[in-house]
Copies of this chain bind each other. A is one copy, B any other.
Amino acid sequence: MSPTQPNEWLLLERTVRFGEIDAAGVLHFHHLLRWCHEAWEESLERYGINAVDIFPSKLDVTDSLRVALPIIHCEADFRLPIKCGDHLLIRLEPQRIDVGSFQVRTKFQRDGQEVAIGLVRHLAIDSTTRERCDLPQDIDLWLEASSLNLGLRPV
């Protein structure tokens, strides 16, 4: 049931909103990292993975998730000013690092020019013991499908 064309889950769009712009008239920087996380969530959803199977929800206490995916590192580079109303193309480049961690590089383009790039790195841990463990199978499948399309590359 998953899409077969990577563009369906690795190529997204976003319009920059007024509240994300500061008094210098450009994107206030940290929103970009929020966008990276939201793009990742949208990518998983488009690929066919349900939010409740990946993201913890206090309300589902009877059936909580075995694996948590905390972020251990993030970074961003800003190349060109991003302004209110800009239509951005978002390209995700997910990459498995090892059996228990992965990262997503997220490139933001406007009119064919790269305006910013973000990177978020996740570690899989057992949500009870807090020890490192393998990635959930759903994430593995999404990484595999994404890698095939992007070509494998070294970290």
Contact = CB atoms under 8 A, between A and B. Distances in A.
A45 interface: yes
A153 interface: no
Q: How many copies does the complex hold?
A: 4
Interface stretch (A32-40, A92-100, A101-109, A133-141): A32-40
Contact of A23 (B33, B70, B78, B84): B84
B23 A22 contact: yes
B15 A42 contact: yes
Interface string A107-121: 000000000000010
Query: Interface size bucket, A side?
Result: 35 or more
Contacts of A81: 59, 70
Given A30-B30, A73-B76, A55 B18 contact: yes
A108 to B, nearest CB: 14
A89 interface: no
12 contacts: A15-B41, A15-B45, A17-B38, A18-B28, A25-B57, A26-B59, A29-B37, A29-B120, A30-B31, A52-B85, A56-B58, A57-B83
Interface string A1-29: 00000000000000101110111111011
